[in-house]
Amino acid sequence: MVKGLMMLISQFAKQTGLPVDTIRFYIAKGLLRPERSVKGGSNPYQVFGEQDVTTARMIRLQQTLGYSLGEILALNEEYRAGEHSPERTLEVLQSQIARLEEKKAALDAALSFLRGKVAWINSGKPDDAPRLEDYQC
């Protein structure tokens, strides 16, 4: 993206990979706050910049980590208010790392179960099938 570039919603959708309806939803929830253009008369255009692209990507990342939209909004509001001290940033990042590690552990357990099941089938089902209860998914 060109530094300082301002985009209309269709361009922003292409840049972020988000559907226009999702962008409008994020705006309605206060997660995104595009500027208003002087064009458009009584219904001014919404104009997005680089910071909005970063914000949209952070929202998607936080959703992937399991944050609710309410939690994401609270973090965004905190950031916008200038309350992002190095200590608070570190706390948020450590929380995100912990969430990812939990998800990784669950995925690793699920993969182990599935691989065990495949191996059991490939070996002709000699004994009892691997049980999901034996894996901490």
Side-chain-facing half-sphere of 47: CA atoms under 13 Å: 11
How far from 91 is each of 8, 56, 135, CA to CA, in Å? 34, 21, 31
Q: What is the pLDDT of residue 89?
A: 81
Assign 27 a pLDDT band (cuts: 50, 70, 90).
very high
Question: Is the distance from CB of 135 to CB of 110 less than 8 angstroms?
Answer: yes
Token couple for 1:
């993206």
pTM beyond 0.75 = no
Q: At what angle do helices 9-16 and 20-28 cross, to 10 degrees?
A: 110
Residue 127 neighbours by CB under 8 Å, 6+ apart? 120
Q: Count of CB atoms within 10 A of residue 131's CB?
A: 10
Q: What is the pLDDT of residue 72?
A: 93
Q: What is the pLDDT of residue 2?
A: 47
Query: What gap in Å lies between CA 94 and CA 88, rounded to an integer?
Result: 10
Q: What is the pLDDT of residue 44?
A: 78
Run of H or E residues at 122: helix 86-122
For 64-99, how does the pLDDT look when each residue is reduced to its tens digit (9 = 90+)? 888 899 999 998 888 888 777 888 888 888 988 998
